[in-house]
């Protein structure tokens, strides 16, 4: 009988996917198709949970089939990340679109990412105090205790690496290994390698222009092919969003979310405030923040549903270059660094909130100015160091809590609402990297204002 219900669920999903396909055939805009997929996914997922229950075998079996569409799409995006980053940065050199010093561009991007993360930490602290959140208010169940023990075990491994060791992890020693994404810092390692190859090309170009031109033509050919692959994958975005959103809403534990509703609300208030800070920074640079919002909404929607900054990278770079007027080189640096350095949501707001919540459990006054200053400084520093240990909210929390000598296990109390909060955190991380790209391009006079101020493309995923 269960098999019959699973088949029915699959048929319904196929029908909804066909509906999205027909919208595409009728040339409905990309943004409208993504939002339609988001809303339909929420409704379908809630319907499944209401009908069968979140822990039912029917939903579990159905999600295995749904993942072919949702997780399959995410994996296709992850597949193209390394080739896209490498060839785009290299093309920026061969086409001479990196007009400024590479060190200056990298410094600006990293500075903006870390600076905004420090601001995010301050916002997280303020929001936690405003909502009067404390770790002792949260009940510990078996899942929370198990999560806490796992975090403590992981903390031992993280603590063994010093900050200089984490910096060394950024430097590639085997680029073929990094092209596989085997290391947590593989993306940044590929960026560094691409920049080195690009600088070597510029050196050859000064001495042997004929060989340099031949190399540039090869790179341009590969770039065209890779971008075509990206285009083909991005066309699947609405279908992926539908399946991913259905899974999230069908499998979420709403009883647990209700118990921790105060923390969830406080988290999203902090995330929204930080997003507004992004818009203020863009406005201060002389650009229209409303235009920015209109053009990045499809990207943030996918980041929200997929909970993966890496999977969002192709969309991120595409939006920066095609919609916001950022050059290929700057867009790739900003997008790639943003995967593991200065994540405003995961490495800024989240660990700061945890630190303030946990402090009273060990007799520390969370209102102590010296404690708050230390939290902000450590969060900012750790947001760079996270790159050496894999990135993400969990590692950021471990680094910050360890540095402040706070009990790490208490971070496991929020396991039941992690997926829901992580959706917003990921969207903010991606917005932070795009903001860094726009601000850096503006500061280096590299931003194409005509592209930025143009109307949002109805189908930017179809452009090559």
Beta carbons of 203 and 269 less than 8 angstroms apart? no
Two tokens, residue 388? 């050496």
pLDDT for the residue 463: 47
What DSSP state is assigned to residue 33?
Answer: H
Q: State the Cα–Cα distance between residues 72 and 243, nearest whole angstrom.
A: 10
Give the number of C-alpha atoms closer than 13 A to the C-alpha of residue 98, restricted to the C-beta side.
25
Beta carbons of 49 and 250 less than 8 angstroms apart? yes
Q: State the Cα–Cα distance between residues 411 and 332, nearest whole angstrom.
A: 33
Beta carbons of 434 and 296 less than 8 angstroms apart? yes
pLDDT for the residue 157: 53
Q: State the Cα–Cα distance between residues 241 and 457, nearest whole angstrom.
A: 19
Two tokens, residue 237? 């975005």
pLDDT for the residue 136: 65
Beta carbons of 111 and 439 less than 8 angstroms apart? no
Beta carbons of 290 and 280 less than 8 angstroms apart? no
Greatest Cα pair distance, the chain, in angstroms, is 74
Two tokens, residue 68? 């072919």
Q: State the Cα–Cα distance between residues 440 and 425, nearest whole angstrom.
A: 22
441's enclosing H/E stretch is helix 418-443
User: Under CATH, to which class is 2-462 assigned?
Assistant: mainly alpha
pLDDT digits (tens, 9 = 90+) for 56-76: 888 889 999 999 998 898 888
Q: Which residues are CB-neighbours of 110 under 8 A, at least 6 positions away? A: 337, 341, 342, 384
Spans of the chain below 50 pLDDT: 142, 144, 148, 388-391, 462-464
pLDDT for the residue 15: 94
- Looking at beta carbons, which pairs linking 198-207 to residues 24 or more positions away fall under 8 Å? 198/89, 198/90, 198/92, 198/93, 198/94, 198/98, 199/93, 199/102, 201/90, 201/93, 201/94, 202/93
Two tokens, residue 448? 């194409």
458 phi and psi angles, rounded to 5 deg: -70, -25
Cα distance from N-terminal residue to C-terminal residue, the chain:
48
Q: State the Cα–Cα distance between residues 374 and 303, nearest whole angstrom.
A: 31
**For residues 117-141, b (16+ Cβ closer than 10 Å) or e, as one string?**
bbbbbbbbbbbbbebebebeebeee
The answer for 119, left when phi > 0, alpha when psi is -120 to 50, beta otherwise, is alpha
pLDDT for the residue 388: 44
Q: State the Cα–Cα distance between residues 404 and 372, nearest whole angstrom.
A: 11
Q: State the Cα–Cα distance between residues 194 and 110, nearest whole angstrom.
A: 18
Tell me how long the chain is.
Answer: 464
Residue ranges of domains in the chain: 2-462
């Amino acid at each position: 009988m269960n098999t019959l219900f699973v088949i029915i669920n699959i048929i319904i999903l196929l029908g909804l996917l066909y509906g999205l396909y027909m919208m595409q055939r009728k040339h409905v805009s990309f943004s409208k198709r993504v939002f339609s997929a988001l809303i339909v996914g929420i409704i379908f997922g809630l319907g499944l949970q209401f009908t069968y229950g979140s822990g039912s075998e029917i939903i579990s079996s159905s999600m295995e089939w749904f993942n072919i569409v949702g997780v399959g799409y995410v994996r296709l995006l992850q597949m193209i990340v390394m080739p896209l980053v490498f060839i785009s940065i290299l093309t920026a050199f061969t086409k001479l679109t990196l007009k400024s010093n590479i060190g200056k561009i990298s410094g600006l991007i990293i500075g903006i990412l870390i600076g905004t993360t420090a601001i995010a930490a301050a916002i997280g602290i303020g929001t936690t105090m405003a909502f009067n959140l404390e770790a002792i208010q949260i009940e510990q169940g078996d899942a929370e205790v198990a999560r806490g023990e796992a975090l403590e075990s992981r903390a031992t491994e993280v603590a063994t690496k010093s900050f200089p060791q984490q910096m060394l992890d950024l430097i590639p020693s085997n680029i073929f290994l990094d092209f596989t994404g085997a290391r947590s810092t593989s993306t940044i390692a590929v960026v560094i390698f691409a920049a080195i190859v690009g600088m070597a090309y510029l050196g050859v170009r000064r001495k042997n222009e004929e060989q340099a031109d031949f190399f540039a033509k090869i790179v341009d050919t590969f770039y065209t092919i890779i971008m075509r692959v990206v285009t083909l994958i991005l066309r699947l975005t609405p279908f992926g969003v539908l399946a991913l959103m259905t899974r999230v809403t069908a499998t979420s534990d709403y009883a647990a979310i209700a118990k921790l509703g105060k923390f969830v609300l406080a988290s999203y208030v902090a995330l929204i405030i930080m997003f507004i800070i992004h818009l203020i920074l863009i406005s201060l640079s002389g650009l229209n923040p409303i235009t920015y919002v209109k053009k990045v909404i499809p990207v943030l929607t996918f980041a929200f549903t997929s909970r993966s900054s890496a999977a969002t990278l192709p969309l991120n770079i595409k939006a920066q270059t095609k919609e916001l007027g950022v050059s290929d080189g700057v867009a790739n640096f900003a997008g790639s660094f943003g995967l593991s350095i200065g994540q405003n949501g995961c490495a800024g707001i989240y660990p700061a909130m945890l630190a303030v919540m946990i402090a009273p459990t060990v007799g520390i006054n969370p209102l102590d100015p010296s404690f708050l200053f230390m939290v902000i400084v450590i969060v900012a520093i750790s947001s760079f160091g996270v790159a050496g240990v894999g990135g993400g909210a969990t590692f950021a929390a471990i680094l910050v809590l360890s540095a402040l000598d706070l009990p790490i296990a208490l971070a496991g109390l929020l396991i039941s609402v992690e997926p829901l909060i992580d959706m917003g955190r990921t969207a903010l991380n991606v917005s932070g990297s795009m903001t860094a790209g726009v601000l850096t391009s503006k500061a280096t006079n590299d931003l194409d204002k005509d592209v930025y101020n143009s109307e949002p493309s109805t189908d930017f995923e179809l452009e090559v």
